[in-house]
Structure 1
């Protein structure tokens, strides 16, 4: 049925539900698992929410974020491999999370995406956008969204 399942995580409790579901699906279908965490780049301007830092400090902050993300996906990999699932841990740096997810689907040859929706409504959804909605709209493979 499925050969390679992409599961996205942001380290939240809700994404843990997506991880558990993806591991179960991979076990049932014999699929490989790709665990993905997208790390956004450090904001370069005040209007994006960043403080003015010199280039070397920005690199250090981004490295810290990437290292933390790698720990998250490595933990997913360990849990999945303990369940007998072949797993790849992937960290991608991008300014747009949904675009990074869509790109990873293609690069890794995934045929299913499992991800969580944080269920933002109203003005928060409008202001913050919806990465899940963007993936649902633009993915060429099925997307399983957990709430």
Structure 2
């Protein structure tokens, strides 16, 4: 079941997100998220979680793409699914709900920032109708090397 995120989901969300931060280049960030930080964000921006029998197996959230009033209708999202939930359509279900909610909130465009070597993430977004609109070579530094960032966009 896809439902709105709640502050009490912060521990599970942190566990999912921190594994991505620690173990992959899917995000270039290196500072792990704290449940307190995430609980505060859940109250301040849209969050949806995939809840299966009381276990949070994935999440999606978004925020304004860039600062300033000219960007209020464009958002960048983060979607992550726990290892145990992969291959079960959870990511697709989360993104479907995110698109419905974003449209209802007046959002015109969603942006995905995908690490260049995350070919699975790029294929996932392409299957959802996102298209590559830009590639920024060597803008991310992680694990002692440079990484490209691929920008993908879907007009809602």
Instruction: Decide which structure has greater strand share.
Output: 2
TM-score by length of 1: 0.34
In terms of Rg, which structure is larger? 1
Instruction: Decide which structure has greater helix share.
Output: 1
TM-score by length of 2: 0.32
